Structure 1
Amino acid sequence: MNTMPQSTCTKLLDYSKLPSQIRLPDIIGYTSKVFATKYNPNQLQAEAESYQWFDSYDIIPESKRQKFFGSGLGLMTSMCYPGAQFERFRITLDFVLWLFTFDDMTDAGALDDVERMKLAIGLTMQVLQDPKVPTPKFRIAAALQSCFNRMRSNSSPSTTKRTIDAIDFYTKAVLEQKLNRKEDRVPTIGEYIQLRRDTSAMRIAFVGIEYALGLALPSEVHDDPIIVELALAGNDILTWANDIYSFPIEASRGDTHNLYQTIRNRVQEYIDAKAKLRSFGVKTDLEVAQYIQGIEHCVQGFLDWTFITPRYFGANTTKVKETLTVDIIAPVALDAAISVEV
C-alpha cells in the first residue's frame, strides 16, 4: 500500500477505505437525449482578448498559468452561451474567468482561513454593490470590478440585481461550506442539496444567460413555478454530475462536500416540468424559450466540456471518457494562503 501524504486529510475522509478506482455512470449518454450541444462562433477571438485581459491582473501564479489557461474555460463558455453576440460573449467570458478563479481560491487553499475568506467576500460584494468604490488592491476583486462595471453598462437593472443577488447567495454558501470543512461537519442530505445549489454557482450561470443573450425577462417569468423548477432541475443535474466527475480531485484535497446521486429521475422531472410550461404572451414566450434553451446549453455544455478539459481527469481525460473509469488521486498539498487587501 502506498503511503499518502496527510497534509490535506480531514477526520471524515479515511483514504484506506477508498477504492483505487471508481466507475462513472454514463450521464452524458442520457442527458444528450434531452439537451443539445452547440458552440459560439466568437470563442477564439473572445478567448484571446479575455485571457490577455485577465492575465494582466497577475492573479494566477506562474507555476499554474499554463494549467489555468489550458483548461478550456473559453470552450466551456462557448458551449454554455452559444447564442451570445461577441461583445456580450467576451464580457461573459471575463466573468467566467473571475468566477472559476475565485472558486478555486475557496477550494484549493488560497482562501483557506475563514477570516480571510470573509474579507474577500466583503470586498467582492462591495465592488458589485457600489460601482464607484475605489479599485481594491485585492486583485481578483479588482478584476471583478472591471468586468461587472462593463456588464452593468449594457444590462437591465433587473438583470444587474439578479446577478448581485446570485453572487451573494454563492459567497454565503461557500463560506458556510468552509465552516463545515473547518469543523469536519458533513451536512444532512437535505442541507447538502440546498447548499450545493448555491456553491455550484449555477444561479450565477443562469443569470448569465439573460445577460449573454440580452434578455429582459419580467419577474412574472422568474416567479413562475415551472420556470423555478426548470432552473432547479438544471442546477441539480449539472451539480450532481459534477460531484461525481470531480470526486477524485476533491477527495485528494480532503473535501467532504460531494454527493453520489442518480440523475435520471431529475432529468425526467425536468422534461415533465417543461411540458407543463404556460404561455406568458407571444413576445415574452420567445425570450422564455431562449432562456430555457440557455439552461439546457449550460447543463450539456458543461458536462461535455468535462471530458474535454484536463481540469478534472488530467492527461487521462480521453481514456476516462472512453472507459468511464477514473483513478482515485492521492492527497495533495493545498495552495499557499494569499493576502486579501482593501
Structure 2
Amino acid sequence: MRAFSYGSSSTALAVPPALSLPVVESEFPRRLHPYWPRLQENTRAWLLEKRLMPAGKVEEYADGLRYTDLMAGYYTGAPDEVMQAIADYSAWFFVWDDRHDRDAVHGRAGAWRKLRFRLHAALDAPGEHLHHRDPLVAGFADSMVRLYSFLGEKWNKRFAFHFHAVIEAYDREFRNRISGTVPTVAEYLELRRLTFAHWIWTDLLEPSTGHELPVGVRLHPAFTRAALLSQEFAAWYNDLCSLPKEIAGDEVHNLGISLIHHEGLTLEEAVTEVRRRVEECVEQFLAAEKGVLRLAESLADGTVRGKETSVAVTACLENMRNWFSSVYWFHHESGRYMVDSWDDRSTPPYVNNEAAGGK
C-alpha cells in the first residue's frame, strides 16, 4: 500500500524515533507529481532497455528502491517529459553510485579510471556515446541528450561544469576508500557538496519551471542560501539514515564517521550531532525562504519578463521545500536503506556484486 497519495502529506509509516523529524512531517506537506505511476513504469523499462540493472534485479527491486518516488516528490510542477528525463537520470545516478561502490570494494582502480574518463567525455559530447559498450556510459549519454534539450546552451554548459566536478569528487572518494582515508569533518563537508551533487539538483529546478533564471537571480544570496540549505539537509539526513549501511560496508565517507574518527565522538554522540545539524538546516531554511519570497516579489516589476521570472523563482522555492519531505520519506520507504533485511549487511542485494565494473 502506498504511504501517501497525490498532493497529500499523510503517511502510515512509523519512523524510528532517532530519525523522526516532527518539524518536517508538520511543516513540509508531502506532494507527488501526478505523472508518478507512468514515471515509475517508464523508468523501470528504461533501466531494462539500457541494461543498467539485470532483468531479475529490476523485477525484484526497482519499484521497492523508490527512486522515482524521490524525484516525483521533488520537481512536482515539471512538464511530464522533463520529469521523466530527471527520473531516469536520477536512477542512473544511483546505479553509478553502486558501480563506484563495488569498484572500490573490489579494488578495481583500472575499471574506475576508465569509467571516470568515459563519463567526462560523454558529458561533453553525449551524442557520440549513445551506443557505448558500457551500459553505464550509454545510459548517461542518453540522459544528457534529453536534459540538454530543455533549455539553452548556457544552462547546458553550467550543468556540465557542475557534473565534471561531481565526477572528480567521486574520484577523490575512490582514492580515499582504497587507502582507507577518513576525511576530516571540514574536508568531508566540502566533498559532500559535490558527491551529493548539490548544484546539479539545484540546476534541474530551472527546466522544471521551463525558465532559465538570470544569473543575478540565480546567484542572489537569498536564492543560493535556500537552495544550499535544502541540499545540505538532504545530504546530512542521508548520512544519518545510511550510517549503519556505511559502517557495515567499511565506508569512510559519512559525517558521522568523520566525527567519530577525527573528533573522538562515540557512535551515539555522532548520531546526536548529525541530527542537530539536520534540524538546524530545517530551521534555517524556514527563515531563508522568506528572503526568496521577497526576491520573487521584487522581480514582479510590471513587465512580462519580470512576472515570468518572479513566478519561476516562486516555483523553484516550492520545489526546494519539496526536497525536505521527499528526501525524508524516501529514506524510510526505499529498500536502499533497509540494511537489517539484507542477507549480507555489507552487500546491497540489488547490485551485481562481482560483474559490475569489470569491463
Query: What's the TM-score once normalised by structure 1's chain length?
Result: 0.82
Gapped runs of 5+ residues in structure 2? 1-15, 257-273, 301-306
Aligned to 2:280: 265
Amino acid paired to 2:181: R
Size of the alignment, in residue pairs?
308
Q: Residue 24 of structure 1 aligns to a residue in which SS? A: helix
Preserved CA contact (<8 Å) 1:88 1:213: no
Gapped runs of 5+ residues in structure 1? 1-21, 317-326
The 1:162–1:268 alpha-carbon spacing in structure 2 relative to 1, beyond 3 Å, is: same
| Structure 1: distance between partners of 2:120 and 2:345 | 36
Preserved CA contact (<8 Å) 2:66 2:334: yes
Aligned to 1:114: 109
The 1:162–1:33 alpha-carbon spacing in structure 2 relative to 1, beyond 3 Å, is: farther
The 1:79–1:340 alpha-carbon spacing in structure 2 relative to 1, beyond 3 Å, is: same
Q: Residue 319 of structure 2 aligns to a residue in which SS? A: helix
| Structure 1: distance between partners of 2:255 and 2:248 | 15
| Structure 2: distance between partners of 1:105 and 1:210 | 29
Question: Where is the helix percentage greater, Structure 1 or Structure 2?
Answer: 2
| Structure 2: distance between partners of 1:264 and 1:230 | 15
| Structure 1: distance between partners of 2:118 and 2:313 | 34
Task: Give how far 1:204 is off.
Answer: 1.9
Task: Give how far 1:96 is off.
Answer: 1.2
2:19 is aligned, of 14, 25, 43, to: 25
Q: Residue 336 of structure 1 aligns to a residue in which SS? A: coil
Task: Give how far 1:115 is off.
Answer: 3.2
Aligned to 1:68: 62
Q: Residue 160 of structure 1 aligns to a residue in which SS? A: helix
Q: Residue 307 of structure 1 aligns to a residue in which SS? A: helix
Superimposed CA distance per residue, residues 225-282 of structure 1 (whole angstroms, 9 cap, x where no aligned partner): 2222112211111111110111111222111211231222222222232233453511
Aligned to 1:300: 325
Preserved CA contact (<8 Å) 2:118 2:137: yes
The 1:254–1:314 alpha-carbon spacing in structure 2 relative to 1, beyond 3 Å, is: closer
Preserved CA contact (<8 Å) 1:46 1:90: yes
Kindly report which structure 2 residues correspond to 1:192-203, keeping only aligned pairs within 5 A, or say none: 192-203=188-199
| Structure 2: distance between partners of 1:219 and 1:69 | 38
Give the ranges of 4+ consecutive aligned residues of structure 1 lying more than 6 Å apart after TM superposition: none
2:93 is aligned, of 90, 94, 99, to: 99
| Structure 1: distance between partners of 2:242 and 2:323 | 17
Amino acid paired to 2:222: I
Task: Give how far 1:165 is off.
Answer: 2.2
Q: Which moved more, 1:104-113 or 1:140-149?
A: 104-113
- 1:52 correspondence with 2:45: yes
Aligned to 2:269: none
| Structure 2: distance between partners of 1:108 and 1:302 | 24
Task: Give how far 1:23 is off.
Answer: 6.3
| Structure 2: distance between partners of 1:69 and 1:104 | 17
The 1:295–1:53 alpha-carbon spacing in structure 2 relative to 1, beyond 3 Å, is: same
Q: Residue 333 of structure 2 aligns to a residue in which SS? A: coil
- Give the CA RMSD over aligned residues: 2.5
Kindly report which structure 2 residues correspond to 1:267-282, keeping only aligned pairs within 5 A, or say none: 267-277=282-292, 278-279=294-295, 281-282=299-300
Preserved CA contact (<8 Å) 2:75 2:83: yes
| Structure 1: distance between partners of 2:101 and 2:82 | 28
Aligned to 1:320: none
Amino acid paired to 1:114: A
